[in-house]
Amino acid sequence: MGGYYYLVSSLPMLFNEAAPPLTMQEFSEACGEQLSEKDMAILEKITLVPIAEQRFPDNSAAEGWRRWEITLRNRIAVQRAPHGKDISEYVLYEDDIFSEIEVGVQEAFALKNPLERERFFDKMRWQQLDNLEACHDFDLDRLCVYKIKLMILEKWEPRTSDKGKSNLDTALDRIDSNYSRGTKTEQE
């Protein structure tokens, strides 16, 4: 894999739970100008939700992410499943063992607030991505990790306090409107 010194050096730093400093489109455009076609194809295949059949080069950050994320999502599915329910048709095959995931999922499910739980999972993801990018400064693996981190930050972008308050107001207005219509129907 070739070095992408200029590209990696030109990218703004990403910080967990901060606003993304660039869009995914801006990142893709910058990569499209610098990456080989083969590397760009790998980068474009990366998603937050792993696809079981989709493989990346062995020992790459993208493949490490895919394996880790499948394991995390399987553990979340097991935790959410009703006691005694067979969920084997919903879990994906795991290629690896990640001992920290089991403890992390238990800690996350101890949190009662679903939003806090999702933030906890994303902190786990961020830590794993930090591990995957270790020793990768100016190569495709670094760019793959960068893309995943940027996707995590973009996921949270529309989830602001103002948007949440607006959604709550809309829901309450709808409930109030439905209640008012129901009361008028009963009076008639």
pLDDT at 188: 58
The alpha carbon of residue 178 and the mean position of all alpha carbons in its chain are separated, in whole angstroms, by 36
Which of the 8 DSSP states describes residue 49? S
- Please tell me the distance from the alpha carbon of residue 6 to that of residue 78, in angstroms, as a whole number: 43
At residue 180 the predicted structure's pLDDT band, cuts being 50, 70 and 90, is confident
- Please tell me the distance from the alpha carbon of residue 69 to that of residue 71, in angstroms, as a whole number: 5
pLDDT at 102: 96
0.85 surpassed by pTM = no
- Please tell me the distance from the alpha carbon of residue 74 to that of residue 69, in angstroms, as a whole number: 8
DSSP for 105-151? HHHHHH-S-HHHHHHHHHHHHHHHHHHHHTT-SSSHHHHHHHHHHHH
- Please tell me the distance from the alpha carbon of residue 120 to that of residue 178, in angstroms, as a whole number: 36
The first and second tokens of residue 180, run together, are 């008012």
| Share of residues in the chain with pLDDT > 70 (%) | 93
How does pLDDT run across 55-90, given as a tens digit for each residue? 999 999 999 999 999 999 999 999 999 988 999 999
pLDDT at 174: 85
- Contact between 138 and 3 under an 8 Å Cβ cutoff? The reply is yes
3 state SS of 46: coil
pLDDT at 1: 46
- Least confident range of 45-49, 53-57, 164-168: 164-168
Helices (H) and strands (E) in the chain, counts: 8, 0
